[in-house]
Amino acid sequence: MAANSLPVTPVPALKDNYVWMFPTGPDRQAAVDPGAAAPVLRVLERTGAGLSHILITHHHHDHIGGVAELVRRTGARVVGAAADSDRLPPLASAVADGQILTLGTVTGRVLTVPGHTMGHVAYLVGDALFCGDTLFSAGCGRLFEGSPEQMWTSLTRLRALPDATRVCCAHEYTLTNLEFVGTLWPDDPDLQALFAAAAARADRDVPTLPTLLGQEKRHNPFLRCDDPALAKRLGQAGQSPTMVFAHLRELRNRH
Ligand code: ZN
Ligand code: FE
């Protein structure tokens, strides 16, 4: 971890969600996508910190279920997409693509990443990317609202960030995703090593996240839909990246 790395903590919530927390100043924290309030309140109690901000990536209940209670108990400022404000909790800060956020002592930037939902946004805070249900380790979110083309475009936006970006996904799906990727490349020793490492962590109930974007660029097939080798492996040689992506997402849905 680089010296100027943002300290991030994945707080398990609900079935397999993570609420990511990070400091915004002395005795202040922010929480991303609090699907439940209790796990966040426990962290605040243990650390004696207040909650300065809540960042929301999208409107699904497992990402906003704890917002109302947290606002009531802490007075945190809620940040979310202006474009989705009609289905998000009341926003203190309604944001749009490219907007720079000041969160206490740290700065962030908003990236719109439609696909999983139309209003989905990601937040880049220092070297940490809070990408909700858009990018997972070895996977990506389901297309509930957007088209394959929109999701592929969103994923290429995230892929353009530096390799050292730490990807803070909202779900612990790594093992299932790697299992699926392993069906595409059954003999890849790198993938086998990643799977073994993730399985060892899961056994001890240790989060597999954050993952490094550089690693995802190498091993996450959803970030490689413009790689002819992947297209060929999927029997999609010569197809557009969007078609390859749609095909791959379909295979994953059926896995
Ligand atoms: Zn979702
Ligand atoms: Fe989710």
Distance 81 CA to ligand 1 centre (A): 14
pLDDT of 1 > 50? The answer is no
pLDDT of 66 > 90? The answer is yes
Q: What is the mean pLDDT of residues 113-117?
A: 98
Residue 238 domain-assigned (yes or no): yes
Closest ligand to Cα 58: 1
Angle, helices 174-184 vs 241-254, to 10°: value is: 110
CATH of the domain at 167: 3.60.15.10
Backbone angles phi, psi at 54, to 5 degrees: -120, 125
Distance 142 CA to ligand 2 centre (A): 10
Please list, in sequence order, all residues whose beta carbon lies within 8 angstroms of the beta carbon of residue 228, skipping any fewer than 6 positions away: 237
Distance 48 CA to ligand 1 centre (A): 30
The one-letter amino acid at 120: H
Kindly state the percentage of the chain with pLDDT values over 90.
Answer: 98
Closest ligand to Cα 143: 1
Closest ligand to Cα 145: 1
Which among 174, 195, 117, 178 has a CA at the least distance from the CA of 150?
A: 117
Residue 28 domain-assigned (yes or no): yes
Residue range(s) defining the domain that contains residue 163: 9-254
In this predicted model, what pLDDT tens digit does every residue of 3-27 receive, in sequence order?
579 999 999 999 999 999 999 999 9
- CA pseudo-torsion sign 216, 201, 115, 8: negative
Distance 67 CA to ligand 1 centre (A): 15
Q: What is the mean pLDDT of residues 187-216?
A: 96
pLDDT of 179 > 50? The answer is yes
Which among 133, 166, 135, 125 has a CA at the least distance from the CA of 60?
A: 133
Q: What is the mean pLDDT of residues 67-78?
A: 98
How remote is the C-alpha of 162 from its chain's centroid? 16
Residue 128 domain-assigned (yes or no): yes
Residue 1 domain-assigned (yes or no): no
Distance 113 CA to ligand 2 centre (A): 15
Residue 100 CB: number of other CB atoms within 10 A?
A: 9
Distance 168 CA to ligand 1 centre (A): 14
Residue 3 domain-assigned (yes or no): no
Dump strand ranges (E) for 118-182.
Answer: 121-125, 128-132, 135-136, 139-140, 166-169
Residue 4 domain-assigned (yes or no): no
Task: Report cis status (omega within 30 of 0) of the bond before 228.
Answer: no
Mean pLDDT of all residues belonging to the chain = 97
Residue 2 domain-assigned (yes or no): no
Q: What is the pLDDT of residue 4?
A: 76
Distance 145 CA to ligand 1 centre (A): 11
Residue 224 domain-assigned (yes or no): yes
Q: Count the domains in the chain.
A: 1
Nearby residues for ligand 1 (ion, Cβ within 5 Å): 60, 133
Long-range CB contacts for residues 83-91, cutoff 8 Å, separation at least 24:
83/112, 83/118, 83/119, 84/58, 84/59, 84/117, 84/118, 84/119, 87/59, 87/119, 88/56, 88/59, 88/64, 88/119, 89/56, 89/64, 91/56
Q: What is the mean pLDDT of residues 109-126?
A: 98
